[in-house]
């Protein structure tokens, strides 16, 4: 229930910046990429710890990775410290050790990839809106 509320809040903030169609497109791409990163991190963990069953079976892939990716984006548009999501990652896993660390880390990596690399331009180019950002008058 908390994830749904967080997703609604983050989406409302980003909907003021991006068009609704692009925001939906962004959510779909982020869901796929955060799941991909989570799976990749779990495989690396299994290889590193040499315990395939424990590291590959335990855990989750869900919307929480997308929420962390959105937190990375929101840090650009709000007065929140740019790296607060790293602090949240550590605090969440200290206070709630049963949460899926790889899912959250995968989401942060997707957000950082979008924010600092070619992914943002690639998604703008491939968007159905042809222009992702809202005009200043909207």
In this predicted structure, what is the pLDDT of residue 131? 59
Q: Model confidence at 45, in pLDDT bands (50, 70, 90)? A: confident
Closest by CA to 22, choosing from 138, 136, 131, 121, is 131
- Predicted confidence (pLDDT) per residue in 70-126, tens digit: 999 888 777 778 788 899 999 988 998 778 888 899 999 999 999 898 888 888 776
Q: Which residue has the tokens 């899926």?
A: 100
Spans of all domains in the chain: 19-126
Model confidence, pTM: 0.83
Q: To the nearest whole number, what is the mean pLDDT of the chain?
A: 82
In this predicted structure, what is the pLDDT of residue 138? 45
CA angle (70, 39, 84) in 5-degree steps: 30
| Whole-angstrom distance, CA of residue 119 vs CA of residue 113 | 6
Active site residues: 64, 104
């Amino acid at each position: 229930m908390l994830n749904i509320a967080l997703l609604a809040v983050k989406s409302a903030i980003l909907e003021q910046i991006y068009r609704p169609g692009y925001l939906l497109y962004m959510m779909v791409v982020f869901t796929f990429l955060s799941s991909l990163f989570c799976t990749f991190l779990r495989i690396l963990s299994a290889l590193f710890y040499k315990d395939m069953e424990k590291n590959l079976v335990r855990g989750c892939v869900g919307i929480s990775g997308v929420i962390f990716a959105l937190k990375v984006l929101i840090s650009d548009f709000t007065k929140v410290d740019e790296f607060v999501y790293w602090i949240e990652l550590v605090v969440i896993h200290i206070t709630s050790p049963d949460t899926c660390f790889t899912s959250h880390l995968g989401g942060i990596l997707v957000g950082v990839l979008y924010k600092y690399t070619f992914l943002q331009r690639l998604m703008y180019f491939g968007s159905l809106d042809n222009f992702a950002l809202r005009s200043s008058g909207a």
